[in-house]
A and B are shown apart, each in its own frame.
Chain A
Amino acid sequence: MARTIQSLERAAAALRLLAGGERRLGLSEIASTLGLAKGTTHGLIRTLQQEGFVEQDEATGKYTLGAELLRLGNSYLDVHELRARALVWTDDLARSSGESVYLGVLHQQGVLIVHHVFRPDDSRQVLEVGAMQPLHSTALGKVLSAYDPVAHSEAADGRREAFTEATRTGLGEFEKLLDLTRARGWSADVEETWEGLASIAAPIHDRRRMPVGAVGITGAVERVCEDAEGEVHAVRARLVAAVRDCARAVSRDLGAGRF
């Protein structure tokens, strides 16, 4: 059996001591129960406190279990909560970009669309909430694959179907795209999933900086990309900035710090 780490064992013992009901203990009580020096115990508790696993009562100076422990078991972000928080920002993105907006999360082997804002023109459009998109070819899917390790393994291990001539199906070129996505902080899909359509997406992080979803726009390739005669189309910088701003605003709303 591999060597165990003593300080982790001690931290676990301290947490167990504080667990169960409304228990408040002072530093010396914890130290004597664990049979540790006060200084060692203080270092231990302070580290746990920084991680949010332990909290100190300001008035008495005693310690209790922290809120973070509760969140550990319940860290899954409700997608409807995500939609409610994103509503204002995605509306604004639709207005500023003039394109339709999608919010997606990882679901099984694909991207589940949890929110959709129509393109703000007078055309008939159908609400696509509940639809699935592929992970490996869409902007939303590539963002999720780049930032969420679970999405990454689904996309890397799964079948990468060629929807158009532009779809990258090889693992090497797919990984390269994800590297680029991580380096730039956003991803694009220029006719890789649907002929004539281009998308741009950026990641949404929660307060623990965990990737919880992706937000993006989709529109006609002529509108989303710059004019480039016969060349590989480049998406418009103005639209990239708008998408990233929206993703940052939603992340901030979920408690993620500035980045």
Chain B
Amino acid sequence: MTDTHSTGPFIAAIDQGTTSSRCIVFDKDGRIVSVDQKEHEQILPKPGWVEHDAAEIWTNVQEVVSGALEKAGITRSDVKALGITNQRETTLLWDKATGEPVHNALVWQDTRTDALCKELGRNVGQDRFRRETGLPLAAYFAGPKIRWLLDNVEGLRERAERGELLFGTMDSWVIWNLTGGTEGGVHVTDVTNASRTMLMNLQSLQWDAKICESMGVPMSVLPEIRSSSEVYGEAKGELAGVPVASALGDQQAALFGQTCFAPGEAKSTYGTGTFLLLNTGEEAVNSYNGLLTTVGYQIGDQKPVYALEGSIAVTGALVQWMRDQMGLINSAAEIETLASSVEDNGGAYFVPAFSGLFAPYWRSDARGVMAGLTRYVTKAHIARAVLEATAWQTREIVDAMQKDSGVELTSLKVDGGMTSNNLLMQTMSDFLDAPVVRPLVAETTCLGAAYAAGLAVGFWPDTEALRVNWKRAAEWTPRMEAAQRDREYKNWLKAVERTMGWIEEEN
């Protein structure tokens, strides 16, 4: 980099993600000073099972923190605070006395608790705990994963009941180790991570004793629930003395990094899949349209801010599928070249319900469909239909959010790899009939963790100061006629209809 970065002080953020751990150092303007990253092993013992070695992750976290500081040419005294963001729901139990994990962490994608979740639904079904927790009983969430470990790993339940074990999502594991581990490490989690366990009551922001009982999770293993932005403790070891001052689940961190601080502001992160979060303010909005209710963030002793969340399972993954399985393009970026070679979709629609339809439909019997094919359709039309699929699915989630919350979306802030696709961003704006805006710093997840940590130690005075840092890098505005949009949306919905009921009998 050319121009002189401010000489500090700085905030460091750790992003403990699904495939790698990263550390990014930010300056006061929210600019990236340095990045270090290290991947960890994906352990796949059986189809549908995904595990991580938590000891490896902790080693990697220490390495990337040192690496990022070294690349920035700074020492711990230049770092005013350390923030943490993490893959959500990934579940770990470890021994309080030795600090050793008692089993690999069960990763959020792991589906081994599918049957257990059905069983936990009893006669009520998947919404048994939705009113309290905002979540349906699904394999992602941490509570049933704890139960699975206690039931299936020899001796764990007894050890848990004797108070020898600690549970944590990756934020808790990293913070406990950073603050000393067996030598006085603090055992905490933040409200956003706790809201993904299915064990926290969304209103009281405390563990729900009844649900813990029903789930078979002894409350002695649970960490203390704290806000997302406060000093949990001081780091020991290499970063000795640096306040550990924030924790946010990755999607919530992106919401924070995009400075979506007002009700009605939403962000959408386009990666392999897509996660859309809408700030609903101090009200936890119940969803009747298949979305999740979750905590967006809580700053210190201020009131919590809630969010509605919708996810799309297959977005970037569909482009990868076109590249790897279909061989129609050589690189992901080429999808835009191919799609741009035609004016429209030529009547073709592609609904990538590869493993069923998710929000807002939740139909596991659906499978992918290409509809409207004629001899006229070329691979370029299919490429266009691929991009339109991501845009329409975004529209469906936005519609569901507006129905649930009554909040009109004014603009959508986007981040993630697919934002480099100009045609997709324009199509999204056309289909949503709202501006789509890309911020100048793409690393919104780490930035969110840094912001929350910086607020906690007074590095930034308030959220207004953070808004000033947010800069618009690009904006796409709608250009499509309303009549055309309506006609296309109707066709898309017809195509969606045709995916349903493909799988006749589960199992």
Chain B CB within 8 A of A228 CB: no
Q: Which of B334, B336, B442, B475 contacts A88 (CB 8 A)?
A: B442
Pick the residue among A94, A122, A125, A241 that contacts B2 (CB under 8 A): A241
- Shortest A230–chain B CB gap in Å is 29
Q: In the bound complex, do residue A242 and residue B3 qualify as a contact, i.e. CB atoms below 8 Å apart?
A: yes
Nearest-neighbour CB distance to chain A for B35, whole angstroms, equals 10
Contact of A96 with B2 in the complex, beta carbons under 8 Å? yes
Closest to B473 in A: A117
B410 at the interface (CB under 8 A from A): no
Residues of chain B within 8 A (CB-CB) of A79 are 337
**A154 on interface, CB distance cutoff 8 Å:** no
B481-501: CB near A (< 8 Å → 1, else 0) gives: 000000000000000000000
B42 beta carbon closer than 8 Å to chain A: no
Decide if B334 touches A91 in the complex (CB within 8 Å): no
Bound-state Cα–Cα, A121 to B473, Å: 10
Docked-complex contact A87 and B442, CB < 8 angstroms: yes
By beta carbon, the residue of chain A nearest B336 is: A80
- Note all chain B residues with C-beta closer than 8 A to A84: 332-333, 417, 420
> A182 CA to B384 CA in the complex, in Å?
40
Whole-angstrom CA separation of A88 from B474 in the bound complex: 13
A-B contact count (CB 8 A): 76
* Per-residue B-contact encoding for A188-212, CB less than 8 Å = 1, 0 else: 0000000000000000000000000
A169 to chain B, nearest CB (A): 33
Q: Which residues of A contact B332 (CB under 8 A)?
A: 84
Cα of A84 to Cα of B441 in the assembled complex, Å: 14
Chain A hits for B442, CB < 8 A: 87-88, 91
| Bound-state Cα–Cα, A14 to B381, Å | 42
Contacts of B475 in A (CB 8 A): 118, 125, 127
Let me know if B77 is at the binding interface, CB within 8 A.
Answer: no
Contact residues, A84-124 vs B (CB, 8 A): 84, 87-88, 91-92, 94-96, 115-118, 120-122
Docked pose: A121 CA to B471 CA in angstroms: 7
Report the interface size for chain A: residues with CB under 8 A from the other chain: 27
With both chains docked as a complex, state the minimum distance between the C-beta of B211 and any C-beta of chain A, in angstroms. 43
Q: Is the CB of B3 within 8 A of A238?
A: yes
How many angstroms from the CA of A163 to the CA of B379 in the assembled complex?
42
Min CB gap B442→A, angstroms = 6
* Identity of the chain B residue whose Cβ is nearest the Cβ of A92 in the assembled complex: B1
Q: Does B220 make an interface contact (CB < 8 A)?
A: no
Contact for B420 among A87, A116, A120, CB less than 8 A: A87
Residues of A within 8 Å of B29, CB to CB, are: 95
Q: Which of A79, A84, A116, A117 has the most CB of B within 10 A?
A: A84
- Our pick among B335, B471, B474 for the contact of A95 (Cβ within 8 Å) is B471
Contact (A120, B471) CB under 8 Å given A79-B337, A80-B337, A84-B420: yes
Q: Given A78-B334, A238-B2, A245-B1: A129 and B441 within 8 A (CB)?
A: no
Q: Is A127 within 8 A of B2, CB to CB?
A: no
B419 CB contacts on chain A under 8 angstroms? 87
- Say if the beta carbon of B403 comes within 8 Å of chain A: no
**Which of A78, A95, A116, A127 has a CB less than 8 Å from the CB of B440?**
A95
Q: Which residue on chain A has the smallest CB distance to residue B31? A: A95
Chain A: CB-nearest residue to B471: A120
Smallest CB separation, A90 vs chain B (Å): 9
- In the complex the two chains form, what is the Cα distance from A242 to B31 in whole Å? 15
Q: When the two chains form their complex, are residues B474 and A116 in contact, meaning their CB atoms are under 8 A apart?
A: yes
Whether B182 sits at the interface, judged by CB under 8 Å, is no
Closest chain-A Cβ to B42's Cβ sits at a distance in Å of 25
Q: A80-B334, A83-B333, A88-B442 are in contact. Are A118 and B472 (CB under 8 A)?
A: yes
* Chain A 142-180 interface mask (CB, 8 Å, partner B; 1/0): 000000000000000000000000000000000000000
Please give 17 more A-B residue pairs, beta carbons under 8 A apart, in addition to A78-B334, A125-B472.
A80-B333, A80-B336, A80-B421, A81-B333, A87-B420, A91-B440, A91-B473, A94-B440, A96-B1, A117-B473, A118-B472, A118-B474, A118-B475, A120-B471, A127-B474, A242-B2, A245-B2
Could you write out 16 A-B pairs with CB less than 8 Å apart?
A: A78-B330, A80-B334, A80-B422, A91-B440, A91-B442, A92-B1, A94-B440, A95-B31, A95-B471, A115-B422, A120-B440, A120-B472, A120-B473, A127-B474, A241-B3, A242-B2
* Interface of A toward B, CB cutoff 8 Å: 78-81, 83-84, 87-88, 91-92, 94-96, 115-118, 120-122, 125, 127, 129, 238, 241-242, 245
Interface residues of B (CB under 8 A from A): 1-3, 29, 31-32, 330-337, 417, 419-422, 440-442, 471-476
5 nearest CB pairs, A to B: A120-B471, A80-B333, A81-B333, A80-B336, A84-B420
